[in-house]
Amino acid sequence: MTGPNNYREAVLITEDSRCDYGCPHTGCPHEMAYLARAQVHATLALTAAVIAGSAHRLQPADRHEWAKATDPDYAAEQAAEPPPMGPPIGAVRHGPGCGCPYCPPADEPEVTR
């Protein structure tokens, strides 16, 4: 599970953290277990964000996933847009670093077959 997915899971749990067993009061052990589970997911998301941000610069694809996880408006906007269908118009070179979603970034070694 990725950092953005852990974040989404923590949000979903906290939005629906009521007890499913019909306990008459808040703070029952079942509800506390849901909140503890949400806290674990939030901690994993934070850990993933710190590692991604400190080990190397956050790549555009990772930044995009974090933005979708943390900003509902951005996520809705991105879901409405069709995915790119190839390299950008006017791209002179197709290969590592060209900027299309199908080629690796320039700093990654090219895979030869």
CB 101 within 8 A of CB 110: no
Per-residue model confidence (pLDDT) at position 48: 79
pLDDT category of residue 60 using cuts at 50, 70 and 90: confident
pLDDT in tens, 83-109: 666 655 554 555 676 666 667 777 755
Interatomic CA distance for residues 32 and 71, integer angstroms? 26
Residue ranges per structural domain of the chain: 3-80, 84-113
Per-residue model confidence (pLDDT) at position 90: 58
Half-sphere exposure of 110 (CA within 13 A, CB side): 9
pLDDT in tens, 6-21: 888 888 888 876 777 7
